[in-house]
Chains A and B, each alone.
Chain A
Amino acid sequence: MTALQGCLLISALLFAIGFAGAVTRRHAILVLIGIELMLNAANLNLIAFWRFGPHPEALTGFIFVLFSMALAGAEAAVGLALVIAIYRHRKTSNLDEVKELQG
């Protein structure tokens, strides 16, 4: 197994853990943590392909990860603001109790 395959396996497992958490936990903040873990798995993939790919001196994967981290920061801020707003209106952050839009 090469180093690139090791990185890809770690990031696949990280993605699976984050996905399982985001889908199975009831608390809204834990769902956000799961999404952050999935984003980090994708970033790890980008860095691994940048490092072991054919043209690392172009810095494309590297810059992509920087931008994706900025977007992850924006996403976390908006997501946590939504959690706090829902808590203020409903006095709950349990996702099973917030289901008015469910068909």
Chain B
Amino acid sequence: MTPFFVITGIVTLLGAAFAMSLRNLVHCALAMAVAFSGIAALYLQLDAQFVGFAEILVYVGAIAILIVFAILLTRSGEAPEKSVLTSGWMAGIAVSAMVFTILGWAVLNTSAIPKEVPPAPLATVKHVGDALMTKFVLPLEIIGLVLTAAMIGAVIIALKEESKNGNSGRKS
């Protein structure tokens, strides 16, 4: 537990907390990008360089942009006047506090944690590529299929549907 690790963790958690509590949705998306960058820094400190950079590419690059586009398309960029919380928000907070209490208690009181830290494993791009192309080639292909299906499905869901009597869609 180096001090840098602790600082990165605190920045990540602050970003996540702001992403979930700010009123303006654009600010929430920016705070989410901060949280994801912090997680990428944590990955780098855990000797998982490839996953760290993939996290930046996928989450900070693609998903944050996708969420900003969705905010733009649903015209919800300005803060709402009404309450941003659901009616049963106190129960939700209580349940999540309970979840954290139980998980934290289990983590702090377990005896299954190995005491000695193993040496840093070798996970260069070459090793990862070798593993992906030999041992994990079937899951890789299946993930490719799932991604293709999900992308086609997302496009079809978000398409402007044609109306029944042949007019080309609704005016919006």
Contact = CB atoms under 8 A, between A and B. Distances in A.
Interface in B124-171: 127-128, 131-132, 136, 139-140, 143, 146-147, 150-151, 153-155, 157-158, 160
A77 B67 contact: no
Given A13-B13, A59-B127, A20 B71 contact: no
B46 to A, nearest CB: 5
Interface in A48-101: 48, 50-54, 56-57, 59, 62-63, 65-67, 69-78, 80-85, 87-88, 93, 95-96
A6 B5 contact: yes
**Chain B interface, DSSP helix/strand/loop, else mixed:** helix
Contacts of A20: 20, 92-93, 96-97
Interface of A is mostly: helix
A87 B25 contact: no
Q: In which size bucket is the chain A interface?
A: 35 or more
Contact of A54 (B32, B118, B136): B118
A9 B29 contact: no
A53 B117 CA distance: 9
A90 B136 CA distance: 44
Contact of A88 (B103, B154, B160): B160
B67 A24 contact: no
Interface in B1-60: 1, 5-6, 9, 12-13, 16-17, 19-21, 25, 28-29, 32, 35-36, 39, 42-43, 46-48, 50-51, 54-55, 58-59
16 contacts: A3-B1, A6-B1, A10-B13, A12-B104, A12-B107, A20-B92, A25-B84, A25-B86, A26-B83, A30-B20, A40-B35, A53-B114, A63-B139, A70-B146, A72-B59, A96-B86
Interface of B: 1, 5-6, 9, 12-13, 16-17, 19-21, 25, 28-29, 32, 35-36, 39, 42-43, 46-48, 50-51, 54-55, 58-59, 62-63, 66-67, 69-71, 73-74, 76, 83-87, 89, 92-93, 95-97, 99-100, 103-104, 107-108, 113-115, 117-118, 121-123, 127-128, 131-132, 136, 139-140, 143, 146-147, 150-151, 153-155, 157-158, 160, 172
Interface of A: 1-10, 12-21, 23-27, 29-30, 32-34, 36-37, 40, 43-44, 47-48, 50-54, 56-57, 59, 62-63, 65-67, 69-78, 80-85, 87-88, 93, 95-96
